[in-house]
Amino acid sequence: MTTSPTPSRRVALVTLGCARNEVDSEELAGRLAADGWELVEDAAEADAVVVNTCGFVEQAKKDSVDTLLEAADLKGVARPQAVVAVGCLAERYGDQLAESLPEADAVLGFDDYADIGERLRRIVAGEAHVPHAPRDRRLLLPVTPIERAASSVSLPGHAQVDEPDLPEGVGPASGPRVVRRRLGAGPSAPLKLASGCDRRCAFCAIPSFRGSFVSRRPTDVLDEARWLAGQGVRELVLVSENSTSYGKDLGDLRLLESLLPEIAAVEGIDWVRVSYLQPAETRPTLLEAIARTPGVVPYFDLSFQHASPAVLRRMRRFGGTESFLELLAAARALDPQAGARSNVIVGFPGETEEDVAELEAFLTAARLDAVGVFGYSDEDGTEAATYDAKLPEGVVRERVERISSLVEELTAQRAEDRVGEQVDVLVELVDEQVEGRSAHQAPEVDGATVLVEGGALDPAVLRAGDLVTATVVGTEGIDLVATVSGRR
């Protein structure tokens, strides 16, 4: 008597938020695939829908809840039997989220990731999952690197397993294995350097639910870089909560400077991009490593947040207009075509019209390629939430519109400054038009470069993943228009 095989369980992963969440989702995908789950793109065709939520700001929280509700609506009318919340919102609120959102069948924290396949099987089978109580993850990790390595606390995006040695020629090579499965097919991919943050910015709750800063071992980063190159990736975007701190917990604050050339030397990798630099920690040696290392793009993602020293001190940050402009000048002295982007918060408690004017003057002088503008809002558990001198919502909204309008004008002017420049472009999309990104444009946040006819190479022969040289001939906002002059 034969028995029919057990049908595979299907799972769909929906990712919200930043590039760090993308890495975490691909870790979950790798674990699930290894455990026999079939990954599908359409949530309606999955048994379980896993939503990797964002818990950064109010709008991100709302988007996460809305996505969970949309997935829950599929139950009973399509295949899904369970909707599960993971990620930052789930970690941050745990049982509180589960109680307020009964439409979700389970809320899983980071410590559930290692057994995600079994967790999902039980949830789909109807077993109730007891969500964790929220707690400050900064208090969970031991202090020393050796103790951290032996800790059972899960660090999303750090997953790697060791397999026993195998006889030569039998099975795959022994040693570390990357626990990750790509969910996209583009030529660019994020690569996590570290998790958590040790800074105490008054407005930010991330350290409380992401935990203390923990660097990945350089060997693990390089192993994953090689794996991604083998998956067809040509650009690696190094991500963390604060990349300038990489290595400090491993006893070498300049570890990133020595690691960058090794990553850039990985066969198949053309570009390495460093994201999330803290201005107060961005040292001259790091500037030089980013600007001068072959294969590392001269791109500076500097988290200024404001320019008024008075506002920055209340934010528990350092610097101001003068030091920030000096930092940008130092980067551009190393490479005049270097890209620079930042984020700013307006409407912080106690911010005056004079503070806003100083921010405007800084942005005008800084000539940044891209700027994200956020209006301040209270975040649970942060120091700023307890501050007096809160500004009315209407004032915050007006300042966001005012700074956003200025930024739109300034960044368009900065793009126009690049007309006539020769740029390298990584092709990402070949459809009705050929679109890619120049070295100063990070994925999704800094605009694009459209390649048009008129150069030495017909754009029609290009494919996603090609790296070409081009001349900028026009702009559309922060986007560039360029003609191709050759391949790299």
What is the three-state SS of the chain? CCCCCCCCCEEEEEECCCHHHHHHHHHHHHHHHHCCCEECCCHHHCCEEEEEECCCCHHHHHHHHHHHHHHHCCECCECCCEEEEEHHHHHHHHHHHHHHCCCCCEECCHHHHHHHHHHHHHHHCCCCCCCCCCCCHHHCCCCCHHHHHCCCCCCCCCCEEEECCCCCCCCCCCEEEECCCCCCCCCEEEEECEECCCCCCCCCCHHHHHCCCEECCHHHHHHHHHHHHHCCCCEEEEECCCHHHCCHHHCCCCHHHHHHHHHHCCCCCCEEEECCECHHHCCHHHHHHHHHCCCECCEEEECCECCCHHHHHHCCCCCCHHHHHHHHHHHHHHCCCCEEEEEEEECCCCCCHHHHHHHHHHHHHHCCCEEEEEECCCCCCCCHHHCCCCCCHHHHHHHHHHHHHHHHHHHHHHHHHCCCCEEEEEEEEECCCEEEEECCCCCCCCCCEEEECCCCCCHHHCCCCCEEEEEEEEEECCEEEEEEEEEC
pLDDT tens figures, 131-142: 998 888 877 755
pLDDT tens figures, 36-91: 999 999 999 999 999 999 987 788 899 999 999 999 999 988 898 999 999 999 99
Alpha-carbon span 14 to 421, nearest angstrom: 39
Q: Is 36 exposed, middle or buried (0-12, 13-18, 19+ CB in 10 A)?
A: exposed
- Report the pLDDT value the prediction gives residue 161, as an integer from 0 to 100: 56
- The residue-averaged pLDDT of 195-211 equals 91
> Is the pLDDT reported for residue 96 higher than 50?
yes
> Is the pLDDT reported for residue 5 higher than 50?
no
Q: At what angle do helices 284-292 and 321-334 cross, to 10 degrees?
A: 40
Alpha-carbon span 180 to 311, nearest angstrom: 41
Cβ atoms of 475 and 438 within 8 Å: the answer is: no
Residue the block writes with tokens 């369980």: 9
- Report the pLDDT value the prediction gives residue 1, as an integer from 0 to 100: 41
- Tell whether pTM > 0.85: yes
**pLDDT, averaged across the chain:** 90
pLDDT tens figures, 360-374: 999 999 999 999 999
> Is the pLDDT reported for residue 355 higher than 60?
yes
Tokens of 382: 């942060």
Tokens of 19: 């590039």
Tokens of 190: 């994020």
Alpha-carbon span 96 to 381, nearest angstrom: 14
pLDDT tens figures, 279-328: 999 999 999 999 999 999 999 999 999 999 999 999 999 999 999 999 99
- Report the pLDDT value the prediction gives residue 211, as an integer from 0 to 100: 87
pLDDT tens figures, 416-460: 999 999 999 999 988 888 999 999 999 988 999 999 987 777 777
> Is the pLDDT reported for residue 116 higher than 70?
yes
